[in-house]
Amino acid sequence: MRYFYALITLMMLSAPAIAANPQVVVDTNRGSFVLELYPEKAPKTVANFIEYANAGFYKGTIFHRVINRFMIQGGGFTVAMTEKDTRAPIVNEAGNGLENEVGTIAMARTSDPDSATSQFFINLENNQFLNYQGDDPQLIGYCVFGRVVKGMDVVRQIAASPTGNSGPHSDVPRMPVLINAVTVTKAPL
């Protein structure tokens, strides 16, 4: 029987390791939080986000739209509220079975379902009205591609920021919430 257990153990140790989901640290001037991304569910979205992160794109951007009990949005504007130039938009992968629940990260977009570029948001509530409901452009929803796995207290602190208007933009934190870095700590295999 010992030989059987030894054989099983040896087989498990020699089996190829299961690829872990990539993790990303978002470092802000309010603290850091960690995201786990789901490339199996949203491969193009995760690749897009990682490409922006690895290029250093997010450094110096802010959380420019903060609505407590809804979401915090960032990844596209500088402290001066200047929108950064981005790559081409990606296809919306909202029909992947993931839902806009507390702590999930999703892509921000315009009314065009396939217009997401660099901006993302973190859900503070279960925002079911943002979920995929069908292929009609009005029903496609917003693509969830990961979840906060550490530091939700930092996200909630950002969400509690007093906000106001900045030019044509509303819900802008009065004291900027600066993204210092977005760093991939576990890369997909």
Q: 144-154, pLDDT tens digit by residue?
A: 999 999 999 99
pLDDT tens figures, 46-75: 999 999 999 999 999 999 999 999 999 999
Least reliable range by pLDDT among 10-19, 108-117, 144-153, 167-176:
10-19
Query: Is 105 within 8 Å of 45 (Cβ atoms)?
Result: no
b/e per residue 5-41 (b: at least 16 CB within 10 A)? eeeeeeeeeeeeeeeebbbbbbbbebeebbbbbbbeb
Query: Is 27 within 8 Å of 133 (Cβ atoms)?
Result: no
Q: Where are the domains of the chain?
A: 17-186
Nearest CA to 21 out of 189, 183, 148, 152 is that of: 189
Select from 3.90.1530.10, 3.30.230.70, 3.40.50.300, 2.40.100.10 the CATH code of 17-186: 2.40.100.10
